[in-house]
Chains A and B, each alone.
Chain A
Amino acid sequence: MATAHLPTRPRVPAAAEAAIPPSNIRGNARRRPGFRRDQLTGWGMIAPAAVLLLAFIFIPAILGFGLAFTNARLISPRPVEFVGVDNFARLFTDPTFYRALLNVAYFTVVIVPVQSGLALVMALLINKKFRGVNFFRTVYFLPVVTSMVVVSLLWLFMYRKDGLVNEILSAVSFGLIDGPDWLGDPNTAMPAIIILSIWQAAGFHMIIWLAGLQGISGELYEAAQLDGTSRWQQFRYVTWPGLFHTRSLVLVTITIQALGLFDQISVMTQGGPMDSTTTIIYEAVQSGYRQQETSYASAISLVFFVLVLIVSAVQRYLTREKD
């Protein structure tokens, strides 16, 4: 059943239901005696989360914006000074930064369609109930619960010239393919990272697709079957339109995740060989943390944020509801 995986709606105890008074309490909320105290309680409940979000998201975001125009360093005896757009001038004349932009664009353009497509295929494979469905769901999700750092480490080993990946390639091609030194060659380093990234994260987006699939009413499929439609027609005219909202969610989350590429690079290639895998965030961490140039790193972060906003806005526009 399509609805088998929706949560069981919390049960209302019969006694509680019986106790509901007929009068319209909510209507007189403002005039109720405990109104002021309720306001205080409510704000008291909101306050911890609100204060933490303010302290660790809003303030750093605003700070980052401000620091980008200063010469702040992580630990420095000098007072922080305003330096205008110096950091940006330096950034936009840095060839490594353009290389990073290009690499991230390459990564994103490949990851977004391939990963979302594979994730959808996986979701379709395990959408309907069958014997062992939970086993497959668990296995498909295993790479997601494995940390990206561990995954990177594991694939770092598998990508060696004499590693498992090349051995498998050689075995399935009866010795015809002599695999490259994946991470040592500027031409294959980024494709290698793309493959492992898809391997690790596709399961997560599979779950989001699955949520969308579960939300499509089973009656629609029954009606389609009565009309004698093929499987493909059902997908094209029932499933695909039914996944409208899921589609934009998957698209946005994969894109943002792809633009922020960092962990894999940090563990596997450190941006090399010859800057072929360096990324925006990797450059930001390099300057902000290793060289302690908080201001320059903030400038990179700000550019990254603007990039994310632009890409999301364009995607929203392209996938908008057309009526």
Chain B
Amino acid sequence: MKNQLLLKNAGTMLVRVLFAVVAAFPIVFMLVSSLKPDQQIFGDMSSLAAFLPVGNISFDNYGAVFDRVPAARFLLNSVGVSAVTVILGIFVNSLCAFALSRMQVRGKKIVFTAILATLIVPFQTLALPLVWWVNQLPYFELNGFSLEFSKGWLDTYQVQIIPFIANAFSIYLFHQYFESIPKELDEAARIDGAGWFKIYRQVVMPLAGPATATVAILTFLPAWNSYLWPLMVVQSEELRPVMIGIQYFFQLNVSWGEVMAYASLITVPVVVLFIAFQRSFVNSIASSGVKG
């Protein structure tokens, strides 16, 4: 009986390991190949060496990446765009959720329903009309001391940021979480003479850490990974994000070592960030009421 149980547990563990191998092997292959010259990548392919950093290992491919594409600029653009989107997203969405959850605002039910209704519209259906629409929007630019007015948001930073700040799912996550924070706290603070904004900032938000972490990651990932949108709205090289840089590697002769180096370069920061926040992320998704 005991042996049987032991065998069963060993079997389960084996399945777990099998899934882990399948999940990890392409990523390991990518990282390892980024350190090898092209010839060796192909030479190692038929043996386990494909997954081991052995042989002629160097960072040459990474050096070549920076020669071929303005990788530093792309990374900087992506970091900037993602960071601003995340920060503004957390602020705008939590503020909205706060009012909807904790204040007696007239008409808030209709507003909340309308916000949730936007979830059924996939971004892909909006993308093309949105390109046309942002091209009609006015745009002010402070140039020295004069305010310059022009039309069209194409080829700017804000076109990569502003449309993605407000997000119904983020509002929903904050709302769910705020509902679990006792309303009596607000009443107590109000008696102490605190205004609503102060309650938001000093009572509710400090308690909403897990929800904030989830929203931060769920905003960061699509911002960092965005491809379709910048492909359509950003033409200038100095404004492009990292994913678009991939196109540079298929001009002229393809060097797979360099491709793998660039792919690693734009993936590793996200993986490191994810591992750092892993616990709070997995836990808060698991608890954010994504139960339909």
Contact = CB atoms under 8 A, between A and B. Distances in A.
Contact of A145 (B106, B127, B270): B270
A11 to B, nearest CB: 8
Contacts of A294: 128-129, 131-132
A29 B104 contact: yes
Interface stretch (B12-20, B65-73, B140-148): B12-20
Contacts of A162: 42, 45
B16 A125 contact: yes
Contacts of A164: 29, 45, 50
B287 A154 contact: no
Given A53-B168, A211-B285, A289-B232, A298 B108 contact: no
A7 B129 CA distance: 40
Contact of B128 (A167, A215, A266, A288): A288
A260 interface: yes
B149 to A, nearest CB: 18
A41 B106 CA distance: 12
Task: Identify which of A29, A45, A297 gathers the most chain B CB atoms within 10 Å of its CB.
Answer: A45
A177 interface: no
Nearest to A73: B132
Task: Identify which of B22, B165, B188, B275 gathers the most chain A CB atoms within 10 Å of its CB.
Answer: B188
B278 interface: yes
A103 B111 CA distance: 38
Contact of B286 (A9, A59, A210): A210
Given A41-B195, A304-B125, A59 B133 contact: yes
B100 A249 contact: no
B171 to A, nearest CB: 6
B105 A46 contact: yes
Given A48-B92, A305-B121, A16 B19 contact: no
Contacts of B187: 20-21, 25
A19 B124 contact: no
Contact of B166 (A48, A61, A143, A308): A48
A183 B166 CA distance: 38
Contacts of A10: 180-182, 207-208
A141 B274 contact: yes
Interface in B181-198: 181-182, 184-185, 187-189, 191-192, 195-197
A48 B96 contact: yes
Interface in A303-321: 304-305, 308-309, 312
A207 B23 contact: no
A103 B115 CA distance: 32
Interface string B67-101: 00000000000000000000000001101101110
Contacts of A298: 128-129
Interface stretch (A81-89, A91-99, A132-140, A217-225): A132-140
A55 to B, nearest CB: 8
Contacts of B19: 121-122, 125, 136, 140
Interface in A157-178: 157-158, 162-164, 167, 170-171
Nearest to B227: A149
A5 B266 contact: no
A64 B123 CA distance: 12
B17 to A, nearest CB: 9
Interface in A1-50: 5-7, 9-10, 12, 16-17, 19-21, 25-26, 29, 38-39, 41-43, 45-46, 48-50
B256 interface: yes
A176 to B, nearest CB: 15
B35 interface: no
B95 A61 contact: no
Interface string B225-257: 101100110000000000100100000000010
A260 B122 contact: yes
A63 B132 contact: yes
Interface string A223-245: 00000000000000000000001
A263 B101 CA distance: 37
B292 A246 contact: yes
A125 B270 contact: no
Contact of B135 (A74, A158, A199, A259): A74
B6 interface: no
Interface string B258-271: 01100100110011
B54 to A, nearest CB: 16
A150 B98 CA distance: 37
29 contacts: A6-B286, A7-B210, A20-B187, A46-B105, A56-B130, A56-B163, A60-B126, A61-B129, A121-B19, A125-B12, A126-B16, A137-B282, A142-B23, A142-B24, A147-B267, A149-B225, A149-B243, A154-B260, A210-B286, A214-B286, A214-B287, A260-B124, A263-B228, A267-B246, A284-B128, A294-B128, A297-B128, A301-B129, A308-B125
Given A10-B182, A26-B104, A49-B93, 18 more contacts: A7-B284, A9-B180, A41-B103, A43-B99, A45-B200, A49-B115, A49-B166, A50-B96, A52-B165, A56-B126, A61-B126, A121-B19, A125-B16, A126-B16, A164-B50, A170-B46, A263-B227, A267-B246
Interface of B: 12, 15-16, 19-20, 22-24, 26-27, 29-30, 42, 45-46, 50, 92-93, 95-96, 98-100, 103-106, 108, 111, 115, 118, 120-133, 135, 162-166, 168, 171, 177, 180-182, 184-185, 187-189, 191-192, 195-197, 200, 207-208, 210, 221, 224-225, 227-228, 231-232, 243, 246, 256, 259-260, 263, 266-267, 270-271, 274-275, 278-279, 282-288, 290-292
